[in-house]
Amino acid sequence: MIHITDFSEIFKNQIIIIALITYILNQILKLFVFFFTEKKWDVRRFIGAGGMPSTHSALSMCVAVTIGLSEGWNSPLFALAIVMAFIIMADAAGVRRETGEQAKVLNKIILEFFEERKIRDKHLKELIGHTPFEVIVGAMIGIMMAYLLYYYLNF
């Protein structure tokens, strides 16, 4: 039987703590990158998907590398984590990016077609995927954060 006190052990898990720190720092970095490129603040960048750098990539690589550091590079757990990280990154730069491109086209069609009729339709989210560069930068951030935090937090 699982007790509520057992659940609190999650907050002592070094991989989860490192991943959470990486997530928060990457999302903050995304806010600043957006500000410097677009010259405006958009707090939605903190919780939204898409943009530079890829938090999906940073988070998945950070978890995989931290597992590698703690469990060993030849462990089955690391193998699973790194394969999942590559699947996540391929999805971010592939399917999700293409979905965002399709949303741009559909939004333009809706705007042009319904402009005269004053019909309102839901605007599709366009920024949901990543360029390959955003994915690579996110992955590099994840690797650096894993090494830095794993040895700095010294679990």
Number of Cβ within a 10 Å radius of residue 71: 14
Q: Looking at the domain assignment, is residue 116 inside a domain? A: no
Identify the domain containing residue 20 by its residue range.
4-94+129-153
Q: Looking at the domain assignment, is residue 134 inside a domain? A: yes
Inter-residue contact 88 to 135 (CB < 8 Å): no
Q: Looking at the domain assignment, is residue 74 inside a domain? A: yes
Q: How many domains does the chain have?
A: 1
Residue 130 carries which side chain, given as an amino acid letter?
Answer: H
Q: Looking at the domain assignment, is residue 121 inside a domain? A: no
What is the DSSP secondary structure assignment for residue 13, as one 8-state letter?
Answer: -
Strand extents, DSSP E, 7-138: none
Q: Looking at the domain assignment, is residue 11 inside a domain? A: yes
Which secondary structure element, helix H or strand E, spans residue 15, and what is its range? helix 14-38
Q: Looking at the domain assignment, is residue 34 inside a domain? A: yes
- Model pTM score: 0.76
Q: Looking at the domain assignment, is residue 113 inside a domain? A: no
Q: Looking at the domain assignment, is residue 109 inside a domain? A: no
Q: Map tokens 């989210």 to a residue.
A: 125
Each residue's pLDDT, cut to its tens digit, for the chain (155 residues) gives 566 667 788 888 999 999 999 999 999 999 998 889 888 888 777 777 778 899 999 999 999 999 999 999 999 999 999 999 999 999 887 766 666 666 666 666 667 666 655 555 565 454 556 788 999 999 999 999 999 999 998 76
Which bin fits 82, alpha (ψ -120 to 50), beta or left (φ > 0)? Answer: alpha
